[in-house]
């Protein structure tokens, strides 16, 4: 039974991986990509509102949730994750779609828009600055707040063993960071879905591999594309009280990468989708309209 009201859960084989996804609604397609350390369950209150006007597809990224978890850092680049998603949408009959991503899903979405521009009707990135910029121009404040990038990226199995001792403690500390969220701000059923996923040692391994790939693979891929612009309509959404908004002019970090850009702040921190789903849905519907 799906956590998203009115949606059906499915499994399919795409790009050599099992991809789990929920689908609902009708109309033009919208693909929703979740972030760390979550699953597609993060869209439980947003997706039904979008589904009143759109066909909404909400998958688990490879390495996360119920999707496949291949071995090896080389299999976790955002390019591989993006290829999973465009393969899924083509399999579902959508050659073009609106693309929305939060956190790691936002980085996957940016890569998908770079690699497959004709497929993306619009791009929304949520509470991120570009990967290359964050790593290349790292500041002390961001390094302190986003230490997990470098902890998770340590050679296997260092982080896996430490997190595996108490996954709830570690990953809940992530949910409580980057903007002062409280556990009470998360829907209990969504929290249960996150916990079920991150208690799986293979999911812990997959998430660590995701972060290793960002440092060892994605940085170089993004460096090669610094002069490439995403030309479709784009929206940059960010949490007004999140770490990114405190450390950066978030919109400004995207201006030389997105040629048709709008931006807006949503109340809350990094996990504003969970904290303020109605405000998130309004912002998306206004943009997609």
Q: What would the mean pLDDT of 142-168 be, rounded to a whole number?
A: 97
Q: What is the pTM of this model?
A: 0.98
Catalytic entry in 60, 66, 84, 103: 103
Is 270 among the catalytic positions? yes
Is 103 among the catalytic positions? yes
Q: Write down the pLDDT at residue 181.
A: 80
Residue 262 carries which DSSP code?
E
- CATH code assigned to 8-288: 3.40.50.1820
Catalytic entry in 132, 148, 270, 276: 270
How far is the C-alpha of 269 from the C-alpha of 287, rounded, in Å?
Answer: 21
1, pLDDT greater than 60 = no
258, pLDDT greater than 70 = yes
Q: Write down the pLDDT at residue 92.
A: 98
132, pLDDT greater than 90 = yes
273 and 42 Cβ atoms separated by less than 8 Å: yes
Q: How sure is the predictor about 145, in pLDDT bands with cuts at 50, 70 and 90?
A: very high
How far is the C-alpha of 157 from the C-alpha of 205, rounded, in Å?
Answer: 8
Q: In 16-114, at which residue ranges do the beta strands (DSSP E only) sit?
A: 17-25, 29-33, 55-59, 97-102
């Amino acid at each position: 039974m799906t956590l998203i009201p009115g949606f059906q859960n499915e499994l399919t084989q795409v790009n050599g991986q099992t991809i789990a996804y929920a689908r609902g609604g009708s109309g033009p397609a919208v693909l929703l990509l979740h972030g760390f350390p979550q699953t597609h369950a993060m869209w439980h209150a947003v997706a039904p509102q979008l589904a009143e006007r759109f066909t909404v597809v909400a998958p688990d990224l490879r390495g996360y949730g119920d999707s496949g978890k291949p071995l090896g850092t080389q299999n976790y680049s955002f390019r591989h994750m993006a290829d999973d998603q465009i393969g899924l949408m083509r399999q579902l009959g959508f050659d073009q779609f609106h693309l929305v991503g939060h956190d790691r899903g936002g980085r996957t979405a940016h890569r998908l828009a770079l690699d497959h521009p004709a497929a993306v009707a619009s791009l929304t990135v949520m509470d991120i600055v570009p990967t290359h910029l964050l790593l290349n121009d790292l500041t002390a404040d961001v390094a302190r707040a986003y230490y997990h990038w470098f902890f998770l990226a340590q050679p296997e199995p260092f982080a896996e063993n430490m997190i595996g001792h108490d996954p709830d403690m570690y990953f809940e500390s992530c949910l409580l960071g980057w903007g002062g969220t409280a556990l009470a701000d998360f829907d209990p059923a969504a929290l249960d879905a996150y916990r079920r996923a991150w208690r799986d040692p293979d999911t812990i391994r997959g998430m660590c591999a995701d972060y290793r790939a960002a440092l060892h693979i994605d940085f170089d891929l993004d460096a090669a594309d610094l002069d490439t612009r995403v030309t479709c309509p784009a929206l940059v959404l960010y949490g007004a009280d999140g770490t990114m908004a405190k450390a950066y002019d978030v919109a400004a970090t995207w201006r030389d990468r997105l040629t048709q850009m709008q931006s807006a702040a949503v109340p809350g921190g990094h996990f504003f989708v969970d904290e303020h789903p109605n405000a998130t849905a309004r912002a998306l519907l206004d943009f997609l309209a």
